[in-house]
Amino acid sequence: MYDKLVYALVPSGVKSGKVYSVVGGDLTFTRATTATRINKDGFIEFVNSGVPRLNYPLVNGVVRSTPHLLLEPQRTNLVNYSEDFSSWTPDDVTFDSDAIIAPDGNQTADLIYENTVSSEHRVLSNSISFTSGSKYTISVFGKFNGRVLAFHSTNQTNLPLNATFDLEIGNVVSSASGDATIIKYPNGWYHCIVTTTSGGTGNAQVTFRTRDDDNNTSFVGDISKGMALWGAQVELGAYPTSYIPSFDGSPTSTRNAELATSATAELNDKAGVLYVEVEGLNDLSEAHRYITISDNTASNAIAIRFESDGTLDLVNYGPSLTSTIYTGEINFAEKTKIAVQYGTATSDYKVYINGFDTPLSGSFSAQIMTGLDTVELTYPTNTLPFTGKVNQVLVFNDFLTDDELETLTT
């Protein structure tokens, strides 16, 4: 099977502006800002502008040995000070700033302690503007310091936010508004995340507060207890993206979108297989995310297209007609393996998804393609980029057997 391989992206090597391929040409990469990734030691680290991110996934706090190529859309952190909680508004708490090692490996995380007043014990962000009907994702890294961590806001209409996380055992205690998740990091840290929908246009402050052992939000504090916090983030979007630090006191910290385009390969116009192994950042929430082989135009192309309605479309673009090879629902939040075999006749086409031979669309008609020579993680015009985690992209220059297609996608 692999003697037919003419292009192989197995993310392992990058430099500014390039993602190296194992076989075939390298992808051209652009991102106009710095960004962060998880490195091979499990720490969050900066990556320079224009440098692709080989991100090492965490499984129950343990770093996997094989990275993926991380591609994300543009996002802005709306929090003024993401790491300096002494610059937030305190409410019956005290601070021990830069007291412990943070998830980036530096001593920049803050310990926040209750005082002995009978009240809420919390810190409040800057005032943030929210738009009714829009989804927002709120996140922070927390570490156990005697109390659970509770998310709240000062205006439950503009920002419905009410969730509690147990930082000792690492679970979501409750979430009365929105979807809550918790992700284990090394060294006792947890990434606590809530996605919620604004119910009114206007301002609100995000608050991180403690609860006592009886789950009270207002109580006489214990000066030996509180929470450790680092890396607060509020972003407009239906899922969390990588950490965007903000240090300068204004909510303008932005990570720009990423593009990976224009890898050349000796593709076969008449017979071949396009294979991808990818994973979404969550479910599908952005329309038309593409991975393609083409002649760098939309007139000759095979496209794997992920749709916002939770479907996968496999499309054959010909010089005069577009024909859908397959359409169906997928769980894009999980790792997905897709192989599309193409040829000159409709009977040549086969689709295997996660080890299963999948029926083609009833109206599909093969379109004859010419000049195939480009692999891109976008639409052929360098628009509508794929966003997610790329583990492999392979192209074979001939048909594969059914057994090979099944093995490849299992």
**Residue from 230, 296, 238 nearest 98 by CA:** 230
Q: Write down the architecture of domain 2-28+263-409 according to CATH.
A: Sandwich (2.60)
Its pTM stands at 0.95
pLDDT of residue 281: 83
Band of pLDDT at residue 252, cut at 50, 70 and 90: low
Report the percentage of the chain scoring pLDDT > 70.
98
pLDDT of residue 248: 75
pLDDT of residue 287: 67
- For residue 359, the 8-state DSSP code is P
pLDDT in tens, 163-219: 999 999 999 999 998 899 999 999 999 999 999 999 999 999 999 999 999 999 999
Query: Distance (Å, rounded) from C-alpha 313 to C-alpha 305?
Result: 5
> β-strand 122-124 against 206-211: which pairing, if any?
antiparallel
Judged against a pLDDT cut of 60, whether residue 376 lies above it is answered with yes
Max CA separation in the chain (angstroms): 77
Give the mean model confidence (pLDDT) for residues 294-313.
Answer: 89
Q: Where are the domains of the chain?
A: 2-28+263-409, 77-255
Query: Distance (Å, rounded) from C-alpha 303 to C-alpha 299?
Result: 11
Residues contacting 3, CB < 8 A, separation 6+: none
pLDDT in tens, 311-331: 889 999 988 789 999 999 888
Q: Write down the architecture of domain 77-255 according to CATH.
A: Sandwich (2.60)
Report the percentage of the chain scoring pLDDT > 90.
90
On the question of a common fold for 2-28+263-409 and 77-255, the answer reads yes
- How many other CB atoms sit within 10 Å of the CB of residue 11? 24
- Give the mean pLDDT of the chain: 95
First-to-final CA distance of the chain: 15
Give the mean model confidence (pLDDT) for residues 385-396.
Answer: 96
Band of pLDDT at residue 284, cut at 50, 70 and 90: low
Query: Distance (Å, rounded) from C-alpha 410 to C-alpha 273?
Result: 16
